[in-house]
């Protein structure tokens, strides 16, 4: 009997921390973006596996796995690696949605690869996959108020009301950007979403 690999074309993972108390923090915009994507595709991310929560969806004939690691941010790579190994996906077929403090709230940036840039979740994924060559959709959450401000305290803080108003459309754009990567590739997604004004 021949072994057939599980059918999947793309893994799309949103990074964040599990638990209601983290839900609206800056570090959890990846979870919010992948939730928006699930809503767009009319599925719920509610199955437990791969040290995370996941679901399956189809978009334009391509089979997707949507994943929310439940390992806490700094160990996100363990969950992403479990799913990637199970579905036998190379890094180039793994799209990461996550927060970026180097971008203003309301901004989005799509990239094909790159370093962790100080983001511990991405550092974990790079280490687990032994590769930086995965597409990413970065959602701006704003820089620290001043250089001495504790970074952990900043990314675990909530958005202001004004920031939330800017963030909402960008969460939707992040979901759409991931689908554009799936359908048309990273350059097309970057051309469409990078540099958009909030």
Task: Kindly report, residue by residue over 127-136, the tens digit of the pLDDT.
Answer: 999 999 999 9
b/e map 40-50, b = 16+ CB within 10 Å: ebeeebeeeeb
Catalytic-residue membership of 119 = no
Q: Is residue 5 part of a domain?
A: no
198 lies in some domain: no
Residue 146 maps to a domain: yes
pLDDT at 1: 46
Residue 76 lies in a domain: yes
Which pLDDT score, from 0 to 100, does residue 4 have? Answer: 58
Question: For the packed helices 76-87 and 120-129, what is the interaxial angle rounded to 10 degrees?
Answer: 40
- Over the chain (198 residues), the average pLDDT of each successive run of 10 is 69 97 96 98 98 97 97 97 96 98 96 95 98 97 92 95 95 98 97 83
Number of domains, the chain: 1
What predicted TM-score, i.e. pTM, was given to this entire model? 0.95
Is 163 part of any domain?
Answer: yes
Asked whether residue 183 is assigned to any structural domain, the reply reads yes
In-domain check, residue 4? no
In a domain, 145, yes or no: yes
What CATH number does residue 83 fall under? 3.40.50.1470
Q: Which domain holds residue 158?
A: 10-193
Name the nearest CA neighbour of 101 among 56, 150, 62, 173. 150
Contacts of residue 30, defined as CB under 8 A and 6 or more positions apart, other chains included, come to 13, 14, 15, 16, 96, 97, 98, 99, 121, 139
């Amino acid at each position: 009997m021949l072994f057939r690999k599980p059918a999947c074309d793309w893994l799309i993972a949103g990074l964040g921390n599990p638990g209601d108390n983290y839900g609206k923090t800056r570090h959890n915009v990846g979870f919010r973006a992948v939730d928006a994507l699930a809503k767009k595709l009319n599925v719920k991310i509610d199955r437990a596996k791969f040290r995370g929560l996941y679901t399956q969806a189809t978009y334009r004939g391509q089979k997707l796995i949507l994943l929310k690691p439940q390992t806490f941010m700094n160990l996100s790579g363990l969950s992403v690696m479990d799913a990637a190994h199970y579905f036998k996906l190379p890094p180039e077929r793994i799209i990461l949605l996550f927060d970026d403090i180097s971008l203003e709230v309301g901004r989005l940036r799509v990239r094909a690869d790159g370093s962790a840039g100080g983001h511990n979740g991405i550092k974990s994924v790079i280490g687990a996959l032994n590769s930086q060559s995965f597409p990413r959709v970065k959602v701006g959450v704003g820089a620290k108020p001043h250089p001495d401000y504790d970074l952990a305290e900043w990314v675990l803080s909530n958005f202001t009301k004004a920031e939330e108003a800017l963030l909402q459309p960008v969460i939707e754009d992040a979901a759409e950007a991931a689908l554009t990567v799936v359908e048309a590739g990273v350059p097309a997604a970057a051309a469409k979403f990078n540099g958009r004004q909030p």
